[in-house]
């Protein structure tokens, strides 16, 4: 991106980035206002640094990048590390962690190891400055910073001011021993020092890590002493009597060092995930800033055997608390037409990594949301991942506008078929229902190719007809070749129709025909879901089936009768009622029913009959879909929202606001264990 800009544009971008970063700094430190998150700010600084690195002539001494620590101060001697100080590979999610564990288990060929891979050791990852301490015959000889990993700076004098570092080891160790650990400063001291710095008009530190680093690299040791730095040891370099990392921690304590009190041997990934959740919750209350966990193979020989990849040992990872936000640019806003005809604006982003995953698209939901954000095409925005999964645009950084940003308007004609776009919900809806549905835009052309296509994708999808081996790519081919016009046509396909298509052989053609043939009998709820009626998902489909018992009854039901169902509100009732009254839909339904029969519907019986559940937070042993389907199998119901009709709220890890609502309404809250017992 930086490359494609003209020199003038690059200069302009650099200037506005500096201005914005300075403004946020001022807001934060002087006005005490956190206008944007530290993570988003880091993201902007990173962009500035990248631009400046590519254009060094544009660097000015007052640029925020010039605060960055890590350059070799002139006043310090250089020290070459005997063993390089490596860095760690980051993982951000449980999946990434599991991948790492699988990778090393495979390398180690774990057949002779206990099930589940090698024993691991877990500890906190302190956010400070890594240092190396070399003791000779038990006496501190010299201390150095990590520097570039190979050569660091000699900070012996300053290190000696840190009380937590013994000048003589508690037990004499012959010859040389190297200890590594992190120089840190408490959050409290960090704030206190910044307050004092401000009073005397001196530099304000962005975070405890910068302050620890800045303090250690003072030319006057008295300054360092005044900063009351602390030290946590985490490593002994080289072979001593310790055979495992946990023994190293023990030995570190014996010879006079503080180590992480939370550190422990871990038998399984599950244990590590629990540990991470626990620490994440108590993180705010910790005395020191941490940015994740360090997990490593506990057995030292095994750790060594795994070796080094690039600059990081294979036997360890930093399991990071994910940066949940980053800044990026909105390159364009596209409009997608969904299966119900709903038009959704989608931001096309410069690819950016959030919580370990690169994203390039974010739904903007509707025109109102774009107005609320004040978003224009070309804007720099803060992007997060809602519920840690779905990318969402959170804020527009208007200060960074360069003047070329463009307003976005929802098209008046459908981008797929050119049909007029209708805004808002249908006429005749009460105001509150309209507000609930949001100001949506629809293409109401029943033959709109986009709606149509998406509708067929939906028809074959897992929650609906679930046709094995049939996905969007094949449907695209079938539509483009004119082999199908709607989902009902799928049931007429013959092997010979499919075989000639590209990428289809005899076998796969017959497999597909067979897979479709297997689905000519369908349950009522799935059939209803497959119709693609706006607002009808799994829950509404089950409610309709439970209350009416057959498709015929649903077709005949009055608007009032549908509305009477406990979990169905005005908007949904209207949507269902209208669907069955449109000519186009009726013709399609008749065609479909000539090819598919709906199985007789049996009211679910089972021990959960009549009970409604709401799930909030993630469960450890079941996915959300599995949990829902097991509830239904036992005759229970699930709902997305908490109301008085709900019997149980199942609270998993990190439950959301549903829990508060349940508490307010006095609904029984159960945990995963209790829930599993019920099942």
Binding mask 186-225 for ligand IVH (x = CB under 6 A): ----------------------------------------
Question: Please, which residues have CB within 8 angstroms of residue 463's CB and are 6 or more apart in sequence?
Answer: 526, 529, 537, 538
**Residue nearer to ligand IVH on the CB measure, 296 or 638:** 296
Q: How far apart are CA 364 and CA 344, in angstroms?
A: 7
Residue 545: C-alpha distances to residues 80, 562, 603, 646 (Å): 74, 11, 8, 19
Q: How far apart are CA 171 and CA 108, in angstroms?
A: 36
Report in angstroms how near the CB of residue 605 gets to ligand IVH at its nearest. Answer: 55
Residue 469 zone, left/alpha/beta (φ > 0; ψ -120 to 50; rest): left
Binding window for ligand IVH (CB under 6 A); candidates: 44-52, 313-321, 508-516, 543-551: 313-321
Provide long-range contacts, Cβ within 8 A and 24+ apart, for 19-26: 19/399, 20/44, 20/397, 20/399, 20/400, 21/45, 21/48, 21/64, 22/64, 23/399, 25/64, 25/204, 25/206
Which residue in 119, 153, 182, 367 binds ligand IVH (CB under 6 A)? 182
Do 388 and 367 form a contact (C-beta atoms < 8 A)? Answer: no
Q: Beta 597-598 vs 521-522: how paired, if at all? A: parallel
Binding mask 67-86 for ligand IVH (x = CB under 6 A): -------------------x
Which stretches of 295-366 are DSSP H helices? 300-306
Report in angstroms how near the CB of residue 298 gets to ligand IVH at its nearest. Answer: 13
Question: Is 613 one of the binding residues for ligand IVH (CB under 6 A)?
Answer: no
Cα separation of the two ends of the chain: 53
Q: How far apart are CA 651 and CA 670, in angstroms?
A: 6
Concatenating the DSSP letter of every residue in 11-68 gives HHHHHHHHHHHHHHHHHHHTS----S-HHHHHHHHHHHHHHHHH-GGG--TTSGGGG-
User: With CB under 6 A, what is the number of residues at the site for ligand IVH?
Assistant: 15
Catalytic residue among 125, 395, 519, 628: 125
**Residue nearer to ligand IVH on the CB measure, 134 or 443:** 134
Report in angstroms how near the CB of residue 484 gets to ligand IVH at its nearest. Answer: 54
Binding mask 146-165 for ligand IVH (x = CB under 6 A): x-------------------
Report in angstroms how near the CB of residue 262 gets to ligand IVH at its nearest. Answer: 10
Residue with tokens 């150095």: 144
**Residue nearer to ligand IVH on the CB measure, 88 or 524:** 88
Which residue in 52, 101, 119, 123 binds ligand IVH (CB under 6 A)? 123
Which residue in 205, 234, 577, 648 binds ligand IVH (CB under 6 A)? 234
The dihedrals phi and psi of 520, each to the nearest 5 degrees, come to -85, -5
Report in angstroms how near the CB of residue 171 gets to ligand IVH at its nearest. Answer: 22
Which residue in 21, 88, 530, 571 binds ligand IVH (CB under 6 A)? 88
125 is catalytic: yes
Report in angstroms how near the CB of residue 294 gets to ligand IVH at its nearest. Answer: 4
Question: Please, which residues have CB within 8 angstroms of residue 145's CB and are 6 or more apart in sequence?
Answer: 129, 130, 131, 152, 153, 155, 213, 216, 217
| CB-CB neighbours of 102 under 10 Å | 13
Among positions 542-581, residues that touch ligand IVH (CB under 6 A) are: none
**Residue nearer to ligand IVH on the CB measure, 86 or 515:** 86
Both structure tokens of 61: 């001494």
Residue nearest to ligand IVH (CB): 130
Among positions 281-310, residues that touch ligand IVH (CB under 6 A) are: 294
Instruction: Tell me which residues touch ligand IVH (CB under 6 A).
Output: 86-88, 123, 125-126, 130, 146, 182, 234-235, 294, 313, 316, 318
Active-site positions?
A: 125
């Amino acid at each position: 991106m930086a490359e494609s800009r003209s020199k003038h544009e690059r200069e302009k971008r650099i200037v506005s980035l500096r201005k914005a970063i300075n403004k946020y700094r001022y807001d934060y430190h002087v006005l005490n206002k956190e206008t944007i998150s530290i993570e988003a700010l880091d993201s902007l600084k990173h962009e500035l640094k990248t631009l400046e690195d590519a254009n060094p002539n544009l660097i000015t001494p007052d640029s925020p990048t010039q605060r960055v620590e890590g350059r070799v101060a002139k006043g310090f001697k250089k020290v070459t590390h005997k063993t390089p100080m490596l860095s760690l590979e980051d993982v951000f999610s449980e999946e990434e962690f599991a991948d790492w564990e699988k990778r090393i288990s495979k390398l180690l060929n774990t057949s002779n190891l206990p099930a589940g891979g090698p024993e691991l050791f877990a500890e906190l990852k302190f956010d400070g400055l890594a240092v190396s301490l070399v003791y000779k015959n038990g006496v501190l000889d010299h201390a150095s910073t990590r520097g570039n990993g190979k050569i660091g700076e000699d900070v012996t004098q300053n290190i000696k001011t840190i009380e937590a570092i013994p000048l003589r080891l508690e037990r004499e160790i012959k010859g040389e021993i190297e200890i590594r650990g992190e120089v840190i400063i408490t959050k409290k001291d960090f704030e206190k020092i910044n307050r004092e710095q401000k009073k005397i008009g001196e530099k304000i530190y962005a975070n405890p890590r910068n302050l620890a680093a800045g303090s250690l690299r003072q030319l006057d040791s008295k300054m360092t002493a005044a900063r009351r730095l602390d030290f946590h040891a985490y490593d002994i370099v080289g072979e001593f009597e310790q055979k495992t990392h946990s023994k190293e921690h023990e030995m570190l304590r014996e010879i006079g060092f503080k180590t992480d009190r939370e550190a422990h041997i871990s038998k399984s990934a599950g244990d590590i995930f629990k540990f991470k959740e626990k620490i994440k919750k108590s993180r705010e209350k910790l005395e020191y800033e941490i940015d994740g966990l360090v997990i490593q193979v506990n057995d030292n020989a095994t750790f060594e055997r795994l070796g080094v990849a690039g600059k990081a040992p294979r036997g360890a990872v930093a399991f990071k608390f994910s940066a949940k936000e980053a800044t990026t640019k909105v390159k364009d806003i596209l409009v997608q037409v969904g299966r119900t005809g709903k038009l959704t604006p989608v931001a096309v982003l410069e690819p950016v990594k959030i919580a370990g995953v690169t994203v390039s698209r974010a739904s903007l939901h509707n025109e109102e949301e774009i107005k609320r954000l004040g978003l224009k095409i070309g804007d720099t925005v803060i992007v997060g991942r809602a519920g840690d999964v779905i990318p969402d645009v959170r804020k527009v950084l208007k200060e960074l506008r360069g003047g070329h940003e463009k307003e976005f308007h929802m098209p008046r004609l459908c981008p797929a078929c050119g049909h007029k776009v209708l805004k808002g919900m249908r006429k005749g809806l009460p105001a509150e229902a309209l507000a609930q549905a949001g100001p949506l835009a629809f293409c109401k052309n029943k033959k709109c190719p986009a709606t149509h296509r998406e509708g067929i994708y939906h028809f074959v999808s897992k929650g609906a007809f679930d046709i094995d081996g049939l996905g969007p790519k094949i449907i695209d081919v079938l539509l483009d070749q004119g082999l199908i016009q709607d989902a009902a046509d799928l049931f007429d396909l013959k092997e010979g129709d499919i075989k000639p298509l590209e990428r289809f052989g005899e076998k796969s053609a017959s497999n597909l025909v067979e897979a479709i043939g297997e689905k000519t009998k369908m349950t009522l709820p799935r059939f209803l879901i497959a119709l693609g009626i706006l607002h009808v998902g799994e829950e509404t489909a089950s409610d309709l089936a439970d209350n009416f018992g057959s498709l015929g009854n649903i077709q005949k039901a009055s608007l009032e009768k549908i509305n009477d169902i406990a979990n169905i509100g005005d908007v949904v009732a209207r949507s269902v009622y209208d669907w069955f009254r449109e000519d186009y839909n009726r013709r399609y339904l008749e065609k479909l029913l000539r090819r598919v029969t709906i199985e007789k519907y049996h009211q679910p019986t089972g021990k959960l009959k009549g009970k409604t559940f709401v799930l909030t937070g993630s469960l450890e042993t079941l996915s959300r879909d599995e949990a829902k389907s097991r509830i239904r199998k036992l005759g229970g119901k699930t709902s997305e929202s908490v109301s008085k009709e709900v019997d149980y709220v199942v609270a998993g890890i990190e439950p959301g606001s549903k829990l508060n609502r349940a508490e307010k309404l006095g609904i029984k809250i159960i945990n995963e264990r209790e829930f599993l017992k019920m099942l």
